[in-house]
């Protein structure tokens, strides 16, 4: 009989940034089978309406459900902030976003009670991180900043170019001025700019990697519910709605996998 715990964990993002979640899964959940979908044809989600983000997320869930999954990580700050509750109510399997784990990690990390949030326009507009933080502790102050240029810069692989540093410096200026001691990188693309952001914020500021936080929450969930894989090492499947060559180049830069095979699908038929 097939071990049901060896079913795949679905991971999806608007593009390539969610591969930072896969990178954390290589570290913390190496025995799990993973299927990843990047919606590279419709990236970025940050400038889309809430209804459109929910529509796209349902299409991706229907695709993933055809691949024998046992759980899902929404590796997209925008989809996590705008579609998580809708998906959790619609599908009978554990679905974890990146907003709640990231907010919880920031609450634990802050020392002066002033937390910064960097996210896409849609994520900041949703107020999800601020709402989650205030739900836990009304006394904490939250300073949010939309960073719409971060995703395209990361998708281009421009992690340390001068233009990227200038954009980072411009976006973080208000939260730096606010005196935050903790900053949530509220999009899974942003950990790839972590070094630059850290340099500009200063070493005394703690950066919260939502990709790591979400992976650790999934690890805890699987262990608590006796759902961990019985395999020695998991296998990975990658799908994209466009830009397979860019996907492969990007993934080989940040993952430990020797070879990345990517299949292109028409997500709009789901």
- Angle among Cα 134, 109, 179 to the nearest 5 degrees reads 75
Cα atoms in the 13 Å half-sphere on the side-chain side of 185: 30
For residues 31 and 27, give the distance between their C-alpha atoms in angstroms, rounded to a whole number: 10
d(CA 100, CA 62): 23
Nearest to 222 by CA among 75, 12, 33: 33
Measure Cα distances from 20 to 15, 33, 135, 224, 260 in Å.
Answer: 11, 16, 27, 24, 15
Catalytic residue selected from 76, 132, 142, 175: 76
Q: What are φ and ψ of residue 13, in 5° steps?
A: -145, 165
- Positive or negative torsion for Cα 102, 183, 36, 233: negative
Q: Which listed residue (172, 185, 187, 267) is catalytic?
A: 187
User: What does each C-alpha distance from 16 to 45, 49, 123, 205 come to in angstroms?
Assistant: 12, 20, 17, 26
Question: Which segments within the chain are labelled E, that is strand?
Answer: 8-13, 34-38, 69-74, 95-96, 114-119, 141-146, 182-185, 206-209, 236-240, 262-264
Cis bond before residue 100 (omega within 30° of 0): no
Catalytic-residue membership of 187: yes
66 near 141, Cβ under 8 Å?
A: no
Catalytic positions? 76, 187
């Amino acid at each position: 009989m097939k071990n049901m715990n060896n079913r795949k964990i679905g991971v999806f993002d608007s593009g390539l940034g969610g591969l930072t979640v896969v990178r954390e899964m290589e570290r913390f959940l190496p025995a799990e089978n993973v299927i990843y979908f990047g919606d590279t044809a419709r990236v970025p989600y940050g400038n889309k309406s809430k209804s459109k983000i929910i529509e796209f997320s349902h299409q991706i869930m229907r695709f993933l459900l055809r691949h024998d999954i046992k759980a899902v990580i929404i590796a997209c700050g925008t989809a996590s902030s705008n579609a998580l509750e809708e998906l959790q109510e619609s599908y009978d399997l554990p679905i974890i976003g990146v907003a709640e784990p990231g907010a919880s990690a920031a609450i634990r990390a802050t020392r002066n009670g002033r937390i910064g949030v960097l996210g896409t326009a849609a994520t900041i507009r949703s107020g999800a991180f601020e709402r989650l933080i205030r739900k836990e502790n009304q006394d904490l102050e939250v300073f949010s900043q939309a960073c719409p240029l971060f995703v395209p810069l990361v998708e281009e692989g421009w992690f340390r170019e001068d233009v990227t540093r200038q954009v980072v410096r411009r976006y973080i200026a208000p939260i730096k001025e606010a005196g935050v001691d903790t900053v949530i990188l509220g999009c899974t693309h942003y950990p790839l700019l972590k070094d630059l952001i850290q340099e500009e914020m200063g070493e005394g500021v703690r950066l919260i990697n939502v990709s790591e936080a979400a992976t650790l929450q999934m690890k805890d969930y699987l262990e608590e519910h006796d759902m961990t894989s019985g395999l020695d090492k998991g296998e990975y499947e990658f799908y994209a709605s466009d830009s397979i060559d860019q996907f492969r180049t990007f993934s080989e830069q940040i993952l430990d996998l020797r070879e990345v095979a990517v299949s292109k699908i028409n997500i709009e038929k789901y």
